Structure 1
Amino acid sequence: MSNVRVIVLAAVVALVLAPSLSALLAVTGHLEPAGVLTGLAAGFLLRRQPSTAALATLYGSASAVLIGELFAEGLLDETDFADAMAGWPGWVLGAVLAYLIAAQGLPRGQAGAVKPAVLPMGAAALIAAVLSCAQIVAGKAFGMTEWVDYHPYDGPGWYRDLTSATWYPAASVVLASMIASRMPGGRGRFVVLPLAAWFGCAMTAGPVQYAQALGLDGKPAVVALLASLAGSGIGAAAAAAALRHGGTGLGLVSFVLVFTAGEVTGVWMKDLPLLWSLVGPLALIAVVAAWTAWRDASLRSGVVAGVAGPLLVWSVYLTIGSRNYDHSSQSWPYWLALLTALMALLIALTAAGLARLGRATRTPV
């Protein structure tokens, strides 16, 4: 498949197919299958282009939200389009299906890598459990999550706390998988390590989240447990991509660390100007994309690495929704995550293209 055809098909999926499917489903009042259906279509349209199919599906979620918010709100009764689409990681599941269909199953070589490797698998599960539980406990101790019906300074905080419950295990699974892959026997195990890390989070972070949310009146604590499990799954999908595609791991880990630091220091809070909220993430995207494109001599590799981190953050917020009617500490980061993901594509393309051009024109001294 030529590069031009791949780009055209990816654009059709992201800009036409995903919004159209979402609008049609909005008429029925059930937007939940939009991501899965988009992923299925992307997988078949972009055969043998698995990473492109997955990215097109995730970017389709962004265009669907934008177009839906602008033009399709009348199709829904008293519900924002972004919130109607939220509630489960359907778009991430769609991206995984798109990847598997486009790749025609697991890539060759994974069958041999599925053999047990006790040390890296155990390490992945243990590290993920420790990291996720530590973040959950620290988040509660320092007031990042409160699990109360009302935040005195910001109104209801249920959805913001659910976002944290999704983010902590997602970030932990990514970091644990990358660390475990460096251990003896861990190289190339891009399926079993993320699954082991997911299991570690499910067995530890999930119950801790459940216990923290038990005190809320009218809010089922099981939702916090499900958010934790969903976040682990999002992190596992991202980690599998990182372990399979070189450079993507750097983008994910860098963004995990930067985003977590931003959460702790309040960088993504509503009182920071939009421009300053974007400077750091966009600079990081450019560096990761340029370095990966230069190292791999591949424009596509640089772009995938550059957008991986923003898409991870966007996937977490997409799962919970914007909840504009609730409180700004949820809605502001939601729309900022969407804007960052959209700008990341342009920044990564530009940076990777310049790096690739510089490598191609470099002459020996």
Structure 2
Amino acid sequence: MTTRAFCLEPEQLDWCARLRTLAAERFRPLAEHGADGRLNRPLLAALGTERGLLDRVFPPDGTAASALDLCLLRESLAHGCTEAETALALQGLGGSPLAQFGTAGQRERWLPGIAGGRTVVGFALSEPGAGSDAAALELAATPDGGGGWRLTGTKTWISNAPYADVYTVFARTGEAAGARGVTAFLVPGDRAGLTGEPLEMLSPHPIGTLRFDEVPVTAADVLGEPGAGFGVAMRTLNLFRPSVGAFAVGMAQSALEAALAHADRRTAFGGRLRDMQSVAHQLAEMATRTEAARLLVHAAAAAYDRGDDGIARRAAMAKLLATETAQYVVDTAVQIHGATALQRGHPLEHLYREVRAPRIYEGATEVQRSIIAKELYR
């Protein structure tokens, strides 16, 4: 009996090819007309209502999103338009707690607009003193005596802030210490007492700080159960961590293809770069690492979809290897190109700026290693 190793079906490969073309021909022009640090609503609408790609993140029939679908989607979009990939991913990250844990009324009110790209959502977990250590967050949810709470504190490094229409917010309600005293809330961006300001970051999409001055929330705003918000956050991150790896793989593949093309046409010292052993070996290493990262990402996503054990470990491994690989591949591609890749507007110059952040957000590289080590002894 022949055992078939993990590989994509022809239909999936064809879908990825069409997505790469769509990213380059439709989404890239929309991205180029956007302004760094501001919402690109036309791009988000194109991902939503126009092309229906957000429906793969929030299936209209109410079923759970496929982690593998999400990975293929993010990798393919990243290959041709990182801005489109990021816009889709941020909607998914902010909206998935609602899709997975929201009430029927909450989903009916918000999900159609989020999936259509008309309503912008943010995932508000990080704080000035609680970035990688999410269980240490301090945003206080104080009971108001009427069955609700008042949120007081600060969130920062929040993607789509301060411009999002609604946020998934994690606050300390105090049922227990540490992670067990956190509740997830759905908070509209225009709620009284909620203000924000943009941050100047190495990022084309908006990132900002949110300030909560006794912002009122009620039981109707709770996602899941009071005190169970940390689980909401971790389940969301376990879904999205492999797809952060997929984003990285898409960037690595794009950089690899650029390096292959440049080495084939560029001549130096009497021959083509591709014929120089030092360059050829670099290309081989880039290709091997990219393929290894892709396979680990796909395996982690498939395991998530099957409901296998060890999802946290697999997701952490996928994000760790893929983001570190992408940093290496993009950097090496720049080195092979030389000074031309450092010119503003060059595709590799763009990737060089984009590739750094995924090693930090949704759990830095060091956090992923800690998760993996902990899971190995579980």
Fold shared per TM-score above 0.5: no
For normalisation by structure 2, the TM-score amounts to 0.34
Q: Which has the higher strand share?
A: 2
For normalisation by structure 1, the TM-score amounts to 0.35
Q: Which has the higher helix share?
A: 1
